[in-house]
Amino acid sequence: MKVQLKWFQGRRKSLLYAAGGAIVVGALIAVVSLARGGVPAFGQSFAIGVVDMQRALDGHPRKAASERALQEFFQAKQREFAERSKGMTAEQRQLLDRELQQQFLVKRQELLGGLDKEIRATVEEIARGEGVSVVLERSVVLFGGVDLTDKVIRRVTGK
């Protein structure tokens, strides 16, 4: 009888430790969820938004000017290549081409990257206002979701 009692007491301690650990883990999950601000708790629903980023970029009022500037930059780099590559070996021309392509990519990021950042900030702002928890690019969503694209375009264009 004493042996059975000791065995039960040992098991009881293990069960108490397990229950205490579960309570601590549950409390930790609750604290993390609350600290993240707005993360739905278990059982609550959340809205998923979608945005067609290409359409939003196309609707940006500064896109046409940025593309014109990028096209002019590209043409200037083509002229620079034609002028500098005279008398170069094939390997030297290839290195020059890579260098000018890199400059073009940097310029592209400079001109269009700012528009992308502005659109993404607008998406976040609208999603928060609409109570949308997650926003995905339209092209990765087969069905459903709250389409925020028109609201983003209106906000960016000021209309």
Q: What is the pTM of this model?
A: 0.61
Using CA atoms, how far residue 134 sits from 21, 40, 43, 100, in Å, is 31, 11, 17, 39
The distance between the two most distant Cα atoms of the chain, rounded to a whole number of Å, is 101
Q: Alpha-carbon distance 99 to 42, whole Å? A: 53
Per-residue pLDDT tens digits for 72-123 = 999 999 999 999 999 899 999 999 999 999 999 999 999 888 899 999 999 9
What is the average pLDDT score of the chain?
80
Tell me the β-bridge partners of 48: 134
Q: If residue 77 lies in a helix (H) or strand (E), which one and from where to where?
A: helix 63-84
Residue predicted with more confidence, 15 or 147: 147
Average pLDDT over residues 24-29: 47
Q: How confident is the model at residue 23 (pLDDT cuts 50, 70, 90)?
A: low
Residue predicted with more confidence, 159 or 1: 159
Q: Alpha-carbon distance 118 to 81, whole Å? A: 33
Give the pLDDT confidence score for residue 21 in this predicted structure.
47
Buried b (16+ CB within 10 A) or exposed e, 93-116: eeeeeeebeeebeebeeebbeebe
